[in-house]
Structure 1
Amino acid sequence: MKIDLHSHTYYSDGLLSPKELIQRALNMQVDVLAITDHDTISGIAEARDAVKESTKPGKPPRLEIIAGVEISTSWHNFDIHILGLNVDINDQTFLSRLAEQSQRRDERALQINEKLEKAGVHGVLDKAQKLAGKGQITRAHFARAMVELQAVKDADSAFKKYLGKGKRAHVKPKWISIEEAISWIHDAGGQAVLAHPGHYDMTTKWLRRLVAQFAEAKGDGMEVIHSHLSPVKRQLLIDLTKEHSLLASSGSDFHFPNRWTELGKNLSLPKNVTPVWSDWTFAQAEALSS
């Protein structure tokens, strides 16, 4: 089976609607897809409806959707993301908690805009809000808005000059702790997975500390396969997974079609780790066995 447990729609910083994301996943022959928008589960129901529409009468669905979310946390001045997989999207406590995260995002967006205005970059918030549409407003929307307003040449430049840590319009987020995020996910019936650990701008010493604390806080698993991961870093993540008895996950972290990242591509886990889905029941497998 082709399994991808990390993807985004336009309900956070992805560019595709849930329906468009589903169509692309089907085209890429993905069997299981987790939709993990930042701090929101708003796209899950639409995605599942899109799968139903694409399923022929009397046939099992070609794609199974895992209800997920990517929760933002703060840890020693690092922004660390925790995936919640198989969360209950009808859990009212969980929805209220995610709403708190959304409020923090909105407050941060206002502060970012104030700093941009002081730096002489005007009108960015309105444009960023339009780009975000129904979704959560993120720094990615600010970067895209600045490109459209010709304030910078590309999104990377927006982060390097204004939005990145220590830059003129950077605002330190007030996210929850790793422990809180894990608790939220567990309370909603899900599994907590450390997202893209190979992407954090930290030394190996700090990465080891992060994984150790995540495991100590009863985190369930870690992405050991994700995009733009070197063989050396991948082996380190595999070793850390086994060292701390964590389950292994893999995900493309897909946001939009590009030449570097694709749904379901090159995500096979090595045989010497235990997949996070090892005790899941898949509808396709049930249909084939019946």
Structure 2
Amino acid sequence: MHINLALDLNLKIDLHTHSSASDGTLSPRSLIQYAAKHGLSGIALTDHDTLAGLSEAEFEAKKINNFVFVPGIELSTEHRNIEIHILGYHINLKDETFRKKIAIINDARINRLNQMISKLQNIGIEFNKDIIENLEKIKNPGRLHLARALKEMKVVSTIDEAFQKYLSRGSPGYYPRFKLTPDEAINLIRMANGIPVLAHPGLIKSDELVSYLMKYPFEGIEVYYPSHSKADIQKYTSIAQKHGLFITGGSDFHAPPESGIRNNSIGHCSVSISSVSKMITKK
């Protein structure tokens, strides 16, 4: 990908967004339009465990003058029962090994959804035919889809309540799913010529584990994230500088704030175009 270095390098890009190809509400096309309308000069689309929305998003981005689009993915991994998310940028979309592994993960997601529905039915929650059919149509299902269904069914009042009561680890509807290890995910990204970045390290809630993860060949760390405090930003900036990592940031946008699904506004915790140009010129 070429970035016009004549652009104002202070223009902003959000490097962590989701579309309806995973658990966002906007289609990839609509997400690009929404980002441009809200003053961004670019985004990375980083849907969970899927590359499905990238072609549509890239096609739409090309229609907007000087809009920078970065293809990406967010892989869920686990280390000693702690979930660790890893962003991968500029994956070779034709890499067969990568695509086959993603297909395995997708099958596991579908199985997990069915298992969680069954567990919820076993405790007396009834899903009507329309809800079941809508869930079955989702190609890359996650817990957020099920949380939305529970809200629609008025089993819960909010998405957060759905997770707290039914879908989080230890709750009656929770079912674990297949996850890569951090090492597997990083190697998968690197073998597909991508750039692996540790996502929202503050959510890991363990400085010791974040330090341990630095033994892996990450190329970046998501320093700027909505829930990161000023102290977190300073801490992760220091880690980035110590290990020679790219400093990235993004909103983890899933839906417009008025939807009540998540409160992260697109562009919140965005970074300058200059950060992206450095990442791209490395490849």
**1:17 and 2:20 aligned:** no
Superposed, 1:130-149 pairs within 5 Å as: 130=134, 133-149=137-153
1:71 partner SS: strand
Q: Aligned equivalents of 1:268 and 1:93: distance in 2?
A: 31
Q: Aligned equivalents of 1:248 and 1:208: distance in 2?
A: 20
What per-residue deviation string (whole Å, max 9, x for no partner) do you get for residues 193-226 of structure 1?
Answer: 11111223x2xxx3332x2333212111110001
Matched with 1:190 is 194
1:79 partner SS: strand
Aligned 8 A contact 2:248 2:271 in 1: no
Q: Calculate the TM-score normalised by the size of structure 2.
A: 0.87
**1:267 and 2:270 aligned:** yes
Match of 1:47 among 40, 49, 57: 57
Superposed, 1:42-191 pairs within 5 Å as: 42-52=52-62, 54-55=63-64, 61-123=65-127, 127=131, 130=134, 133-191=137-195
Q: Aligned equivalents of 1:127 and 1:42: distance in 2?
A: 23
Q: Aligned equivalents of 2:130 and 2:152: distance in 1?
A: 12
1:84 partner SS: strand
Aligned 8 A contact 2:219 2:245 in 1: yes
Closer, same or farther in 2 for the Cα pair 1:196/1:135, shift >3 Å? farther
Closer, same or farther in 2 for the Cα pair 1:136/1:129, shift >3 Å? farther
Instruction: Name the aligned partner's letter for residue 207 of structure 2.
Output: L
Matched with 2:3 is none
Aligned residues with identical type, % of pairs: 34
Q: Aligned equivalents of 2:61 and 2:13: distance in 1?
A: 16
Q: Aligned equivalents of 2:162 and 2:237: distance in 1?
A: 34
Aligned 8 A contact 1:113 1:124 in 2: no
Instruction: Name the aligned partner's letter for residue 214 of structure 1.
Output: L
Closer, same or farther in 2 for the Cα pair 1:229/1:132, shift >3 Å? farther
**1:28 and 2:23 aligned:** no
Superposed, 1:240-279 pairs within 5 Å as: 240-258=239-257, 260-268=263-271, 275=275, 277-279=277-279
Q: Aligned equivalents of 2:271 and 2:60: distance in 1?
A: 26
Instruction: Name the aligned partner's letter for residue 163 of structure 2.
Output: F
Q: Aligned equivalents of 2:23 and 2:233: distance in 1?
A: 25
Q: Calculate the TM-score normalised by the size of structure 1.
A: 0.85
Provide the aligned length of Structure 1 versus Structure 2.
Answer: 267
Q: Report the Cα offset of residue 127 of structure 1.
A: 2.3
Q: Report the Cα offset of residue 3 of structure 1.
A: 1.6
Closer, same or farther in 2 for the Cα pair 1:197/1:133, shift >3 Å? farther
Matched with 1:280 is 280
2:278 partner SS: coil
What per-residue deviation string (whole Å, max 9, x for no partner) do you get for residues 54-104 of structure 1?
Answer: 34xxxxx33121110001111111121100001111222211111111111
Q: Aligned equivalents of 2:129 and 2:113: distance in 1?
A: 7
Q: Aligned equivalents of 1:177 and 1:221: distance in 2?
A: 18
Closer, same or farther in 2 for the Cα pair 1:39/1:125, shift >3 Å? farther
Instruction: Name the aligned partner's letter for residue 81 of structure 1.
Output: H
What's the RMSD between the two structures over aligned residues?
2.3
Aligned 8 A contact 1:125 1:142 in 2: no
Q: Aligned equivalents of 1:127 and 1:196: distance in 2?
A: 32
Q: Report the Cα offset of residue 242 of structure 1.
A: 2.6
**1:217 and 2:221 aligned:** no
Q: Report the Cα offset of residue 135 of structure 1.
A: 3.9
